[in-house]
Each structure stands twice: as structure tokens, then as C-alpha cells.
Amino acid sequence: MQVRATAIPDVVVVEPNVFGDERGFFMESWNAQAFAQAGIDAVFVQDNHSRSRCGVLRGLHYQIREPQGKLVRVAAGEVYDVAVDLRRSSPTFGRAVGERLSAENKRMMWIPPGFAHGFLVLSEIADFLYKATAYYAPEHERAIRWDDPRLAIDWPLTGAAPTVSAKDAAAPFLAQAETYP
């Protein structure tokens, strides 16, 4: 597999080795030894799967206590995936990186603890899968506004406003949000 750096060094894009022929394809989506050798030495405790329709934007979510690292990928469709650094001690605090992930390109993104995460569905539907390093803890769940001008995320919107949950629409901007040390 190949691991490609992003503009935020701790967030990386993983391009797995894919073996395909007329029957289909095979790839390892997780191999603890191979990922550790590539610098992603994580222990995952939970797998999640969501399905969303075109124009749905989920995020930007994080847990202020028991932060989750996430290895994310798309099994069907395409999304624009985003990570935002919420570590005040980091030189990239408040910066965002985004990547198109799809069933076709089979890319994955590693988002370590200390980041907010979100994605916009670009295809008719998208099945989004992610492994998490900590259990979901709703009492610690937080969100940041997806359209915070300070973040300047270049969401690939097609003109219409995205569909967001009421919780995400009411999320604070980064300046008012709880962040990590």
C-alpha cells in the first residue's frame, strides 16, 4: 500500500494494493502489521457504516473526551471527506484538509484523535465505513459548523445547500467550540 501525506502531516491518505481481474477485485482494508509499518499504529474498537444520499453533509463531528481516531473509506459511491485539526498546541490548528474517497478509487483516510471529521456525499448514495479507536460516547460528542468561514473548506457543492441535521446546523463556529489542548 501507499501512504500519501496531506497538508496536515498527521492526516494521511492510504491507497491500498488492489488485485483485480475479470472476476472483480481483492484488497486488504485493514492489516495491523502493514498499517503500523506505515505509521498508523491504531487499535480499533468499533466499526461503523452509514448510508447517505446525494447532498447530505455529515459533520464536522468529534468527541471532546475519549477522542476517536478514524480510518475511513467508501464502499459504494463517492464523498468529499474532511478533517479539521482541533489541537490548540498544533501548528496546523484550525486547518482543514479534504479528499475525494470513492468505491472506485478505494482510497482511505486516517484521521487521528484530536480532529473533527465530516463528509459530503457526491454520488446518488454513498456507503461510508469507518473504524474508530474509541467507543462512541454521546455525552462527549461535539460538532463545529461545516460552513465556518475561518475553516474555509472548499466543499464541492453543486449550487444547492447541503442537507444537514438540525444538530449540525446549530453547531458553533470554531471560535466558540471546545477544542483540545
Query: Stretch 75-83: mean pLDDT, rounded?
Result: 98
Q: Return mean pLDDT, the chain.
A: 97
Q: What is the pTM of this model?
A: 0.95
Please state the rounded mean pLDDT for residues 172-181.
98
HSE-CB for 69 with a 13 A CA cutoff: 14
Is residue 148 a part of any domain in this protein? Answer: yes
Q: Which band of pLDDT confidence, cut at 50, 70 and 90, is reported for residue 158?
A: confident
> Is the pLDDT score of 159 beyond 90?
no
Which structural domain, as residue segments, surrounds residue 93? 2-176
Residue 181 covered by a domain: no
Digit-coded pLDDT (tens) for 122-152: 999 999 999 999 999 999 999 999 999 999 9
**E-assigned strand segments in the chain:** 2-5, 12-15, 18-21, 24-27, 46-53, 57-63, 70-76, 78-85, 96-102, 108-111, 115-121, 125-132, 141-143
Query: Has residue 133 been placed in a domain?
Result: yes
Catalytic residue among 61, 80, 135, 136: 61
Catalytic residue of the set 62, 130, 135, 136:
130
114 located within any domain: yes
| 11-17 average pLDDT score | 95
130: annotated active-site residue: yes
Specify the pLDDT at position 160: 87
Looking at residue 114, what is its pLDDT?
98
Q: Could you give the number of structural domains in the chain?
A: 1
Q: Any catalytic annotation for residue 61?
A: yes
pLDDT digits (tens, 9 = 90+) for 27-51: 999 999 999 999 999 999 999 999 9
Domain CATH number, residue 27 = 2.60.120.10
